[in-house]
């Protein structure tokens, strides 16, 4: 017990001696010792703050990895419903996509309402799935919703540049009530640099705009939607050998054998086959909304089959002269609700 008291006394004296030494050093040459101590303390504080910041960042990263937490950028995981399958995928420029799988009971309008966009925004962003002429969608369809890189859905139209088009041409093909949706803002959104040299097939997202589509009341078919069935540039030009008449239910376009024929709009292939008379080898495509197109007199070389969902501009078969044909040509027919319609106002050829 006496020994323990002796040790405590010695420690107390040692502490007191150290304290007196420090105080004496601070008073002796205050200009150097005092400043050095203060600088040392500030350095230690800085190191502690820096280390704690790094540790906190590592902790957050570990938490996200372990718990499946959100990350930022084009990989954000958005919790907007069970029907969202894969979330943001970047398509370049300032646009990304939210993927939505159509569920039972959903309509194009209800999906548009869910993401606070228009039906046409979804339609023109999914031209290979949704018909230009109807709002029909099926359960299981995988739709993409345009969104900013931050994951916020946005209105607009995904536009595919045609040969020779300028940015001003594209703006003329689209309409908007937003005065700020001008050439400069569109170029900036798509990360274009002056003089905005565009290439055919290039895709641009035109925010806050829609396609200019006029509806012909007589036939109930919008214009500005179809493309040329003989747009294949690998073959030389063609000629119109016969027009539409009450005794001729389509348009005859003459071209070289073996040239490809393309679908004028997205749709589902209803018929692929050959008969010896009349139509010869031909294809029928249902585009929805009661609109069907027929492609007659092919060579028999088909690129699609019944049930295929084709995209606009997709090659479907080769030119030929089968059936009731006196030369290589495409007989193209357009039907609305089962009635043959003159293609002239609708199909650019």
DSSP-based three-state secondary structure for 105: coil
Last residue of a domain, one of 189, 211, 233: 211
Mean pLDDT of 292-307: 95
Q: Is residue 136 part of a domain?
A: yes
Strand partners, 119: none
Q: Do residues 329 and 225 both lie within one domain?
A: yes
Strand partners, 239: 254
CB 2 within 8 A of CB 9: no
Give me the sign of the Cα torsion angle 25, 27, 29, 30: positive
d(CA 14, CA 251): 110
Q: pLDDT tens digit string along 132-181?
A: 888 888 898 899 999 887 788 988 888 888 888 888 888 888 876 665 56
293 has a pLDDT exceeding 50: yes
Q: Which residues contact 185 (CB under 8 A, 6 or more apart)?
A: 207
Q: Is residue 77 part of a domain?
A: no
Q: Which residues contact 58 (CB under 8 A, 6 or more apart)?
A: none
**Nearest CA to 195 among 169, 172, 167?**
167
296 has a pLDDT exceeding 80: yes
Q: Do residues 37 and 155 both lie within one domain?
A: no
Q: Do residues 133 and 182 both lie within one domain?
A: yes
Mean pLDDT of 279-299: 93
Q: Do residues 207 and 225 both lie within one domain?
A: no
Q: Do residues 260 and 337 both lie within one domain?
A: yes
Q: Is residue 205 part of a domain?
A: yes
Domain count, the chain: 3
Please give the share of the chain, as a percent, with pLDDT higher than 90.
26
Output the average pLDDT for the chain.
Answer: 77
CB 325 within 8 A of CB 257: no
212 vs 54, more confident: 212
Last residue of a domain, one of 156, 177, 211: 211
348 vs 220, more confident: 348
Q: Do residues 228 and 205 both lie within one domain?
A: no
Q: Do residues 195 and 264 both lie within one domain?
A: no
Q: Do residues 198 and 239 both lie within one domain?
A: no
- The Cβ of residue 205 has, within 10 Å, a number of other Cβ atoms equal to 22
Q: Do residues 59 and 94 both lie within one domain?
A: no
User: Of all helices (H) and strands (E), which one includes residue 75?
Assistant: none
Q: Is residue 36 part of a domain?
A: yes
DSSP-based three-state secondary structure for 86: strand
Q: Which of 40-44, 119-123, 218-222, 281-285 has the highest mean pLDDT?
A: 281-285
Of the listed ranges 80-84, 279-283, 345-349, the least confidently predicted one is: 80-84
Q: Domain limits at 20?
A: 2-67
pLDDT at 285: 96
Mean pLDDT of 103-124: 92
Q: pLDDT tens digit string along 220-243?
A: 788 878 889 998 888 878 888 888
């Amino acid at each position: 017990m006496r020994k323990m008291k002796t040790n405590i006394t010695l420690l107390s004296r040692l502490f007191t001696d150290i304290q007196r030494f420090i105080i004496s050093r601070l008073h002796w040459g205050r200009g150097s010792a005092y400043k050095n101590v203060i600088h040392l303390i500030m350095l230690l504080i800085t190191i502690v703050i820096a280390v704690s910041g790094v540790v906190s960042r590592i902790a957050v990263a570990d938490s996200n990895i372990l718990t499946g937490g959100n990350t930022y950028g084009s990989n954000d995981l958005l919790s907007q419903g069970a029907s969202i399958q894969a979330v943001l995928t970047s398509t370049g420029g300032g646009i990304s996509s939210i993927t939505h799988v159509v569920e039972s009971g959903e309509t194009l309008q209800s999906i548009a309402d869910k993401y606070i966009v228009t039906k046409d925004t979804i339609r023109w962003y999914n031209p290979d799935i949704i018909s230009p002429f109807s709002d029909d969608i099926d359960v299981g369809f995988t739709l993409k919703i345009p969104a900013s890189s931050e994951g916020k859905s946005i209105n607009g139209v995904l536009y595919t540049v045609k040969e020779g088009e300028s940015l001003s041409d594209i703006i003329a093909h689209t309409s908007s009530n937003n005065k700020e949706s001008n050439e400069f803002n569109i170029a900036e959104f798509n990360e274009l640099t002056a003089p905005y040299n565009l290439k055919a097939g290039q895709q641009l997202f035109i925010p806050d705009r829609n396609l200019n589509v006029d509806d012909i009341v007589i036939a109930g078919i919008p214009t500005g939607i179809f493309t040329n069935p003989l747009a294949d540039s690998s073959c030389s030009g063609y000629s119109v050998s016969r027009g539409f008449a009450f005794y001729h239910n389509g348009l005859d376009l003459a071209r070289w054998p073996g040239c490809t024929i393309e679908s004028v709009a997205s749709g589902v292939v209803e018929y692929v086959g050959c008969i010896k008379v009349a139509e010869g080898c031909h294809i029928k495509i249902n585009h929805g909304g009661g609109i069907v197109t027929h492609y007659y007199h092919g060579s028999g070389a088909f690129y699609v089959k019944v049930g295929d969902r084709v995209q606009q501009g997709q090659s479907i078969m080769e030119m030929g002269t089968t059936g009731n044909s006196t030369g290589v040509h495409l007989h193209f027919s357009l039907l609305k609700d089962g009635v043959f319609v003159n293609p002239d106002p609708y199909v650019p050829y």
